[in-house]
Amino acid sequence: MTKETSREPAAPAWIIPPETAVAAAERFVAEQVARAGVDGVVVGLSGGVDSAVAAALAVRGLGPQRVRAVFLPHRTSHPGSLADARAVAGMLGVATELVEITSLVDAWSGLQPDADHLRRGNVMARARMLLLYDLSQRDGRLVLGTGNRSEWLLGYTTLHGDSACAFNPLGGLYKTEVRLLAAHLGLPEGVRSKPPSADLWHGQTDEDELGFTYAAADRLLHHLVDERLGERQLAALGFAPELVDRVRARLRAMAFKRLPAPVLSFPGRRDPDGTAP
């Protein structure tokens, strides 16, 4: 399959307009924080576009004084990631904190020296979220989610790692829409144009692992999930069967990440809101 580049795509017809998304996200962030009765949010700022947009939306909804950006590098992280994260934080005017995860992850590595890079990447993602939740408890704030709809549908996320949060203003937006939001919000060009990466090991990128670009996947996911189009309709729109099969397979295989953990229920046992557990 010929791979596309990660440049910002032209806006497709189905996107949510950036102005609409920003206005809705501002209200959502403010409402969630007010409902919880807390001081604000903490957000892990990675140097990537998703966390940058999430932080910018939080600043618009709460003001910079109520947003704390946390840098969580490992010794193997690309140095440019921390530089980009600092640039975003400086532009937004938020307080920052640097918490290295190296000693935490390396202590685990000593216990599991034969772990492959996928296990190691999952531990790094969970270590970052462990620290964010600890800081949220310390500061009386909520952990802000930064994952997008593309990652959620494709299961490109770590359970109890980057998928964990108190609430998420980006969860209903495809990666394509997040990139357009980044441009609309005037975030640094270096953050907007870099290849998407969780920066969990050297040279790792989302699109290389997935085997297709977000630009291609987002358009397909919109027609496949939002519009419920069938195979013939997708073929008529020009989607390659290989891409459709691969995306469908991920949707099925990663469904468990999109659902709450199954709980064995018993008659007469209900949650406070009146629904069965």
Active site residue 151: yes
Q: How far apart (Å, rounded) are the C-alpha atoms in residues 74 and 243?
A: 34
Active site residue 97: no
200, two tokens: 């969990």
Q: For residue 42, list its beta bridge partners.
A: 68, 143
Contact 148/169 with Cβ under 8 angstroms? no
- Catalytic hit among 4, 19, 84, 151: 151
Q: Which secondary structure element, helix H or strand E, spans residue 66, and what is its range? A: none
Q: Which secondary structure element, helix H or strand E, spans residue 126, and what is its range? A: helix 117-139
CA torsion, ordered 104, 94, 162, 116, to nearest 10 deg:
-40
- Catalytic hit among 26, 39, 50, 218: 50
Say which amino acid occupies 253: A
Instruction: List, by residue number, the catalytic residues.
Output: 50, 151
